[in-house]
Amino acid sequence: MDQSTVLQVLLVPVIAIAVAAVARRRGWPVPLLLVLAGLVLSPLVPGYQLDAGLVLLVFLPPLLYAAAIESSYLQLRAVIRPVALLSVGLVLFTTLVVGWITHLLLPGLPPAAAFALGAIVAPPDAVAAVAVARRLGLPRKVVTILVGESLFNDATALTAYRVAIAAALGEGISWPAAGLEFLRAAAGGVVVGVVLAWVLGRVLLAVRDALIENSVMLLIPFGVYLAAESVHVSGVIAVVIVGLFIGHRLPRATFGTRLLSGAVWRVFGFLLETIVFVLIGLQMWPIMRNLDWADRWGLAGMALAVFVAAVVARVVWVVPSIYLPRILSKRVRRREPHPPSWQNVAIVSWAGMRGVVSLAAAFAIPEGFPGRDTLLFLTFAVVIGTLLVQGLTFPALIRRLRVSNEQEVYTDNLSEAAAQQAAASAALARLEELVAGGVEEIHEDIVGQLRSKAERRTLTAWERLGGGTGPEGEETPSTVYRRLRREMLAAERDVLVRLRDQRRIDDEVLRRVLQELDFEEAILERD
């Protein structure tokens, strides 16, 4: 690989990080700015055509895995019905609606090819929606539903896509056979995921070495995906199952594993997401240059019709799928006594931004496939249209509907304070046992410091309920403590760096001491 090729490969991540840095500093929506940057640069770098295999192997598994380990298995289990209706029912419904509209617009296109387009544009990518939802403070249940949908809908869409492509190529597959293929791929993905989750969970717990554990975890999504795909089942589902299992077991790992894992996946996920959104925009020129622009208005009309069909199909499906089960089932009403607000339903209905998986599936259409260039263009139109139209209006919709998680934040703080008090009581009781029954004498100053530490953690949790301020806006003792301790840590760092610059301590010593200070400051930030 020559130097010019290396520079071209590095161009996308450099551009992506630079644009993301500007967007984050100014509080702009990062995914949308990245897509716009890609659109602007596309004519300047026409050689950046998306490689479907690269996306489905290099980008999709780690992004799904990172989202899964940060998700709550218990919260997802509580919303399994709406998640299933969105990730399976909505995907299939969108496939049928968009396929039917496409067949009407392009009667010369084989019906199976039209339904292949429906499967391609069916799965929303919730990365942009979830980023906005968390930043603007949407209720946890809404965020969990959007995350759960994004974790599983790719498996449904890719399976439907493969069936439609096979039918269009004349491989003779019937609807019953297609249904059985879908069930086999999904069930097989679950089985492979559960087996590998159990094996990998035992391996990680046996290692007990933060560096080794996180090195293994970096390889897990790729290995699990390849293992599942090698036996022709859903690698997407297998990766999600393993990620949820390991994320659920992560609290039992060592503290070093958790700290390192959070940092590693935050950086890795950020880098992959920024590259992916720039790549979406960069596909404009490779797609546009292969089109016959003699009927440009016809192409524009088709793009608008397919875009509207994809957006409307979600709204048409979401509203009845949320309310009808409550009307038809007493069991649902007993389990969920409070119906979802129409504001939350409206937000879920509008969170339908498509992403790179749709483009990767479109580019994976074999050469010579009927209407391949037109299908690529329509896919690109839906992806860009949903990202720009829905992505730009999504924050405004949330603010307009005045949806927030303020009550959840208060409830979380209340439950955290109670849990901290219970944990601190257990810690103090254990301390008294050790002091009373110890074979060695423990200095009273040490015991006093340990008691003070446990009591301060409890006090901090209760003070958070008041927003960190006391009567008439006065700082609470814990707030004062954190502010003063941060100033002290900054002074310590200045001295340590100066000693290193004066060659009085080595860099290795500096890093070791700074790490201790960093851990303490991280605890202060958490408090």
pLDDT of amino acid 502: 86
pLDDT of amino acid 248: 87
- What pTM was estimated for this model as a whole? 0.84
Instruction: Single out the residue of 116, 54, 124, 56 nearest to residue 86, CA to CA.
Output: 124
pLDDT of amino acid 440: 56
pLDDT of amino acid 417: 66
Please give the C-alpha separations between residue 308 and each of 20, 58, 116, 298, 435, in angstroms, as whole numbers: 29, 31, 17, 15, 71
Contact 243, 37 (CB under 8 A): no
CA 438 and chain centroid, separation: 48
pLDDT of amino acid 103: 94
State the CB neighbour count (10 A cutoff) for residue 218: 15
pLDDT of amino acid 291: 83
Task: Show contacts of 163-169: CB within 8 Å, 24+ apart.
Answer: 164/95, 164/99, 164/112, 164/113, 164/115, 164/116, 164/118, 164/119, 165/112, 165/116, 165/365, 165/366, 165/369, 167/112, 167/115, 168/110, 168/112, 168/113, 168/116, 168/369, 168/370, 169/366, 169/369
Contact 327, 334 (CB under 8 A): no
- What is the distance between the alpha carbons of residues 355 and 283, in angstroms, rounded to a whole number? 12
- pLDDT tens by residue, the chain, 527 residues: 556 666 667 888 898 999 999 998 988 888 889 999 999 988 887 777 788 888 888 899 999 999 899 888 888 988 999 999 999 999 999 999 999 999 999 998 989 899 999 999 999 986 767 777 767 778 888 888 999 999 999 989 998 898 888 888 876 666 677 778 888 888 999 999 999 999 999 998 888 888 899 999 999 999 999 999 999 999 999 999 999 999 888 877 877 788 888 889 989 989 998 999 999 999 998 898 878 777 788 899 999 999 999 999 999 999 999 888 888 888 888 888 788 899 999 999 999 899 889 999 999 998 888 899 999 999 999 999 999 999 889 888 988 998 877 777 777 767 766 666 777 777 778 777 777 776 556 677 777 777 777 776 666 666 656 555 555 555 666 677 777 777 877 888 888 888 888 888 877 777 777 777 788 777 776 55
- What is the distance between the alpha carbons of residues 476 and 466, in angstroms, rounded to a whole number? 9
